[in-house]
Structure 1
Amino acid sequence: MKSHSIRFWLQKVLLLLLVLLFSVSQQSFIIADAAPPVNPQASAKARQLLTYLSNVPEGTLISGQHDYLEAPDEQNNKLQQISGQYAGLHGYEFGGLANQSHAALQEQRQRVVDSAIQWSQSGGIVAITFHQALPGKPKTWKNVQTKLSQAEFNHYITPGTPQYRQLIADIDEIALSLKTLRDADVPVLWRPYHEMNGSWFWWGNKQNYAKLWNVMYDRFVNVHHLDNLLWVWSPNAPNAYSTPYNGTFPGINRVDILAADIYNNDYKASYYTGLLKLAQGKPIGIGESNILPSANVLKNQPTWAYAMTWGKELSTTNSQSAIRTFMNQNNIITRDLLNEALR
């Protein structure tokens, strides 16, 4: 039998198993496998997605591809053109990084929202990253990476200060776009304030980082009722440039999914086992990467639920041959395989 025929039938078998899993998702043995969402009011589709991510078979990985705010489908379409497959997970950006006018930024975010709704309706998973410029400052990359002392950071998480009011205003603005997705019943892997154990963002390596996380969580959950969100805590791999995971962990009761950002093929076993231990049974993923994980990585680190390649890194660090090989492996879940399972 030809290799493509073997792959076809293996994919069909996997798809049948996934469809069966969700057709009986009310049975207690399935629900027991997944921790409930940290938001008690989480939508039915958010709960279903979390259950799915908690039951991705070991050694099987959901493929993911990130796109930029200004062009929310460019890299994902490029992935499909190269490999013949769409990623299972599509990552988007909400942060303004180019000093856009307010009107231009709203228009760009609306295009992201429109793409995400269409993507979800096509059977894919939506993830959104938020590179937030320092509140009150122009929305530029420089102001995402601005240096902030611990004392200065404290002003932004202290109710009643001008900085806190600016933070809340930014959070409320981004909530408007997320409400559109909520109203369209689109579950979202929400990934704010990532790589917080590094020093390159204004929220990085702060002693009380969890307070910032909790300000956004409380505002989104209890004020804006964004019950379509699953909360993704995404530290950098604890390499020479980053601190250990646990120093900036908001707590297991504030996180649905844990995802490490891993670059330059640095898939050390300790990054995986450390995150797995911290997750206490919750799903773990690769929040950002450039080089696609090898078959050997997937064999030795079998519990990763998904991996998201970052933007243009798809083709600048991976050959077209490597992309095609990765996306057409039997253990890589593409959008086609997700389509029926998440309906």
Structure 2
Amino acid sequence: MTWHWYAPTGGKDKTFYSKNTDFNLPLALTPGTKEHELLLADMDCVAEQLKKLRDHNVPVLWRPLHEADGAWFWWGAFGAEPCKQLWRLMYDRFTNMHQLNNLIWVWNSSVQEWYPGDGESDIDSCDIYAPSGNYGPVRKHFELTDALAGGKKMIAFGENGAIPDPDQLMASSTPWLWYMTWGEGFVLEGKSTTDEQLRKIYDHPSCITLDRLPNWRHFGGSE
């Protein structure tokens, strides 16, 4: 689950984009400011929605503050340190104050400078939009992301265009945990990944699709 966080102080159009808001993150991280109050209010509002899933025993792959190092979103516009502070603030507030024990925290950047630390993420990921028809394993970006925690965590594609070929992934020992292909033209039009290639991926023995998952409601039970 990704949170496209509209700037707490507003702006124009889609205010998660830095160009559409003048929201000042360093100021918002300062207790006592109006921006800080709005920042916390947004977090608390989202936390209440996540509690509904927690109360129904639904785990959530939680991927906030995505693509921060690109700076096109407001949470990355002021550099690495404010972004890491924001991540840690959210992690502490959601985990300790709101008791959201159903969240699996997914960090989303392969740049070491931006990494908030091993203790505040469960899975590390990066976003790569390979050119249409390029089904290579994207090994370099896997290695960069894997290095964040010294090879101790699972690594996922937060977002992707063309989907890597599972045979190439196996041959190169590049075990991406999952991929999340941006919809619309990246899938529906068959340009980024052809229909034939998509069927190969879904049918491949190394790929797990929904129909091959266990019944989690009775996992470990007799049913």
Sort the TM-score into its range (normalised by shorter chain).
Answer: 0.7 to 0.9
Please, which of 160, 178, 185 is the counterpart of residue 289 of structure 1? Answer: 160
2:129 and 2:162 in contact (8 A); partners too: yes
Partner residue of 2:80? Answer: 207
- Call closer, same or farther: CA 1:341–1:298 in 2, change over 3 Å: farther
Q: Please identify which structure carries the higher helix content.
A: 1
Partner residue of 1:271? Answer: 141
The structure with higher relative contact order (CA 8 Å, sep 6+) is 1
Deviations 1:27-66 (A, max 9, x none): xxxxxxxxxxxxxxxxxxxxxxxxxxxxxxxxxxxxxxxx
Unaligned segments of structure 2, at least 5 residues: none
Q: Please identify which structure carries the higher strand content.
A: 1
CA separation in 1, counterparts of 2:172 and 2:156?
14
What TM-score do you get using the length of structure 1 for normalisation? Answer: 0.56
Residue 297 (structure 1) shift: 3.4
CA separation in 2, counterparts of 1:192 and 1:139?
21
Partner residue of 1:305? Answer: 177
For 1:222-237, list aligned pairs within 5 A. Answer: 222-235=96-109
For 1:8-27, list aligned pairs within 5 A. Answer: none
2:196 maps to 1:330: no
Partner residue of 2:25? Answer: 153
2:121 maps to 1:255: yes
Moved over 6 A (4+): 148-151
- Call closer, same or farther: CA 1:338–1:153 in 2, change over 3 Å: same
Q: Which letter maps to 1:289?
A: N
SS of 1:130 mapped into structure 2: coil
What TM-score do you get using the length of structure 2 for normalisation? Answer: 0.84
Deviations 1:93-136 (A, max 9, x none): xxxxxxxxxxxxxxxxxxxxxxxxxxxxxxxxxxx100101112
Partner residue of 2:54? Answer: 182
- Call closer, same or farther: CA 1:169–1:138 in 2, change over 3 Å: farther
Partner residue of 1:195? Answer: 67
Unaligned segments of structure 1, at least 5 residues: 1-127, 238-244
Residue 146 (structure 1) shift: 2.3
Give percent identity, aligned residues only. Answer: 36
